[in-house]
Amino acid sequence: MKLTGVELRWVSMPLVSPFRTSFSTQTARELLLLRVVTDEGEGWGECVSMTSPLYNEEYIEGAADVLRRFLVPALAAAAPFDAATVGSALEPFYGHRMAKAALEMGVLDAELRAEGRPLSRELGAVHDRVPSGVSVGIMDSVDQLLDAVGAYLDEGYVRIKLKIEPGWDVEPVRAVRERFGDDVLLQVDANTAYTLSDARQLARLDAFDLLLIEQPLPEDDLFGHADLARLITTPVCLDESITSARSAAAAIRLGACSVVNIKPGRVGGYLEARRIHDLCVAHSVPVWCGGMLETGLGRAANLALAALPGFVLPGDTSASGRFYATDITTPFVLEDGHLTVPTAPGIGVDPLPDELAAVTTRTEWIPA
């Protein structure tokens, strides 16, 4: 196909409640959407970078800049292209994986829509429903946390993930276990908030039979994670550290993790995410699909990925209502703790014009 142009669309999505992690508190999700227009049709991509470089080095305005100045022109120059060649066309530009992932997602959506094929089938999905977990932010009090967890369990979520940080770790986890019992699938996420010197404190979490502890140490500290994995019995899962299949292979070989969280935006796109999945399956490492507070567009694509056979743990593919009172697509609704994988061509969903217009703050057209 040949590129006609890319529309950048900035949206601001109010959250139903503040979402606090070890590095930020969000009351609204600012996102950059891409409408990729080709000679064969158009598709949608979603850039999951934040407004500031707090999760990783990327941020929305940086993503917009690299798209308009480098990535979109490079893809236009590579014509004719298909989704499988987007990666090689963008490879000369270092980093900016979230921007690259958004552009690849838009091309994938356009290509598969034109061919009448769903993304799930293209990636190799084997399930038509995906078990849904929920990520619970840091709260002002343990009582507030218990109320939130209880409400999510009542909704039917099959796994609870608690955000933790120094000073908010053992006590909230103990409280959740004591209130809701040992049968609840429970894990924690530190978002790089600890160092290896905190190993003794983190080892106290071993008593609670957690599924995993996610990214306890800084993203560049693979050796530290390997050391920590030998000091605690809770399985170590890596998130921010995994940026490609190559980095995943290194982490597995070093013993830095025994579980991997795959986020397509973080690794440069859904095709690289599939490569990481295949690598982990080959090494008997379980994977699950992380979330970045996506709209229904990104959520649909994540569900297609999470339906692959190696995704044996419930992911952060929660219902639309977990974060948004009104989504920009037909909302995803929890049914028996699961979400249905879209089967329509491409990512399987379309933005609703009125809802999209209501949250759009500006647009920009980048001609090819």
Dmax over CA atoms of the chain, in Å, equals 59
Same domain flag for 36 and 58: yes
Q: At 33, which CATH number?
A: 3.30.390.10
Average pLDDT of every residue of the chain = 97
Q: How confident is the model at residue 352 (pLDDT cuts 50, 70, 90)?
A: very high
Whether 225 is covered by a domain: the verdict is yes
Q: How confident is the model at residue 267 (pLDDT cuts 50, 70, 90)?
A: very high
Could you list the active site residues? Answer: 163, 263
Residue 22 has a pLDDT of: 83
Q: At 260, which CATH number?
A: 3.20.20.120
Same domain flag for 94 and 236: no
Residue 229 has a pLDDT of: 98
Q: How confident is the model at residue 110 (pLDDT cuts 50, 70, 90)?
A: very high
Residue 220 has a pLDDT of: 96
> Is residue 280 within a helix (H) or strand (E), and if so which, with residue range?
helix 270-282
Q: How confident is the model at residue 290 (pLDDT cuts 50, 70, 90)?
A: very high
Same domain flag for 111 and 127: no
Same domain flag for 94 and 233: no
Task: Look up the domain containing 199 and give its range.
Answer: 121-340
- Residues 76/368, Cβ–Cβ less than 8 Å: yes
Whether 182 is covered by a domain: the verdict is yes
Q: What percent of the chain shows pLDDT beyond 90?
A: 98
- Residues 318/349, Cβ–Cβ less than 8 Å: no
Query: pLDDT tens digit string along 36-57?
Result: 999 999 999 999 999 999 999 9
Same domain flag for 299 and 254: yes
Cβ count within 10 A of residue 151: 12
- Residues 164/189, Cβ–Cβ less than 8 Å: yes
Same domain flag for 207 and 355: no
Whether 93 is covered by a domain: the verdict is yes
* Pairwise CA distance, residues 162 & 154, whole Å: 17
Residue 319 has a pLDDT of: 96
- List CB contacts of 204: < 8 A, sequence separation 6 or more: 169, 170
Size (the chain), residues: 368
